[in-house]
Amino acid sequence: MLEVLETIPPDPILTLSEHFIKEVNPKKIDLGIGLYKDISNKTPIMGCVKIAEKKVINNLSADKIYKGSSGLNSFCEMISELLFSNKKELAQEGRVLSFQTIGGTGAIRLSAEIIHQINPERGIWVSNPTWDNHKDIFEYMGMKVYYYPYQGICGELDFQSMLESISIIPRGDVIILHGCGHNPTGIDIKKKQWSKILEVIKDRNLLPIIDMAYHGLAKGLQDDNYCIDLFSSQLDEMFISYSCSKNFGLYSDRIGALIVLTKDRNSCFKVKLQLSRLTRLSCSSPPIHGALIVNEILSSVELKKIWTDEITNMMIRARAARKLLLVESQRQNCARSFIEVGSGVGLFSIIPIKAEGIDILKNNFGIYMLNSGRINISGLNENNIEYFVSSAKPFMNK
């Protein structure tokens, strides 16, 4: 029976990571997979996580029983409070549902399943470019995915084209927006621009899904939450896909949440029932160890302070890596090739290099990046920046 299966290409990011591990070049650089890296090129367990995990393990009243399809309630409440700290009345009115998921990917998948259940004919609109899984997940559900312009030919945000495009999206369709740290461009929407997007969403009656995979790593926890504050004050409905992979460093624990803003308490109740059923049919209930860690951090004044300080340092580290790249490119007389990196935020940027050059960098220099030209900024440091720029320079803008 299994021999009739179609041979499909492997995941490009995971494959790239596997090849990097086997790479023997002592100067090898991994700019591919989306992991935060410190100045020594390590992805350490965060200090607040180490403390919280010890508390979780040493809790004599802890258990390993199922917590239900919606996950750990206290974790869900903490994530809601984190995102709606300026709109606490929404939770009090029963309009906010927070539902634990298998990472941010699980939140996107649950969004796709419930939207498909409501109306499989709805169009799904994503930025060009976007995280590949946005398109893949919704198309796998049988829904049609369309693109709106995002990045201009020089690497900047082409907001005018974006606004014109989303202004003619069919009424009632779904639009996916990156709340912060746009993946893969690193170019974020400005506050005044969010207001114009909100007006279009209201005018076209669009359902927004805000992808919050990098909360705190772009401009800080408060600024990165701006669009959620803005949208929740004027919209009846909104989905938020939240990931704890990057900002808590819980990559392999697979901790995330789908937060749904509804019109009223009754709608919220019905959404929870539907999400519970969908989860029951897939994973039954999400794992809670990582959720216990996040809950421990966010419910403790001391640990939350350590966490926010660590997040700030990670953000500063990414900014420093961008500046390092700009300075070195200026020194090597190729600054124009990396100009848009300087205005980016978060972990990623796209550099102007074609697939052929990317292959040569991988095969001849041990430098790994995605075929789109996306690089993980935090993979650069003072020890490898000169090697990266000198190696990449001949292939830029070609």
Question: What positions carry a catalytic annotation?
Answer: 131, 211, 246
Residues 6+ apart with CB under 8 A from 237: 207, 260, 261, 262, 263
Q: What secondary structure letter does DSSP report for 347?
A: S
The amino acid sitting at 174 is V
* 118-123: long-range contacts, CB 8 A cutoff, minimum separation 24: 119/172, 122/172, 122/173, 122/174, 122/207, 123/169, 123/170, 123/173, 123/174
Spell 108-133 as b/e; 16+ CB within 10 A means b: bbbbbbbbbeeeeebbbbbbbbbbbb
DSSP string, 257-315: EEEEE-SSHHHHHHHHHHHHHHHHHHTSS---HHHHHHHHHHT-HHHHHHHHHHHHHHH
Q: How far apart are CA 25 and CA 33, in angstroms?
A: 18
